Amino acid sequence: MPEYQTAIGIGGNIGHRKRNLDRAVVELNQLPGILVVDHSPWFETVPVGYLNQTPFLNGALTVSSTLPPHEFLRFLNKIENNLGRTRLKKDGPRTVDLDLLLVDDLIINSPHLSLPHPRMSERAFVLVPLAEILPDWVHPVSGRTVRELLCDLGPTDQLVTPYQGE
């Protein structure tokens, strides 16, 4: 059975944000065939898209998995649902959001899954935490490292700040 190295973006802004994200990490680590290998620090981030909402708490995870990407995505959605995620508004508030960002060097474009994540290169709330744990991972489409993609964004200190606690 193949083993996939996977990068996951995690975030949320409803309820006790840190507790929700910590619970998602625990649930993820309890799935068969899944091992959370590394975890970035948490970062407070400004909303993107729908701006009229509270700040998010975001991070990134490195996961080793024997699950194929489409099956892994179903498990991530199940964890989101278990933790009270509702999809009422695009880019709206949520208890927890788990995004597959990268899976090895796979490129997938299907109706339910796009890898690498199509907007990850534009988002400081993804790249700042990801650069903490995987700065040299090469984006399979652009050929640029996570560190280089983050540098391309320019200054991010107004968008992403280290988490200081609730």
Q: Which of 19, 22, 87, 97 is catalytic?
A: 97
144 is catalytic: no
Q: Does the active-site annotation cover 91?
A: no
Check if the beta carbon of residue 123 is closer than 8 Å to that of residue 56: no
Q: Is 105 a catalytic residue?
A: no
Q: Taking a C-beta distance cutoff of 8 angstroms, is the pair 72, 7 a contact?
A: no
Tell me the sheet residues that pair with 58. Answer: 11, 43
Report the amino acid identity of residue 151: C
Choosing from 17, 19, 23, 85, which is the catalytic residue? 85
Q: Annotated catalytic residue: which of 22, 23, 99, 104?
A: 99
Q: Catalytic annotation on 94?
A: yes
Q: Which residue has the tokens 């199940």?
A: 78
Half-sphere exposure of 162 (CA within 13 A, CB side): 3
145 secondary structure, DSSP code: B
Give me the active site residues, please: 85, 94, 97, 99
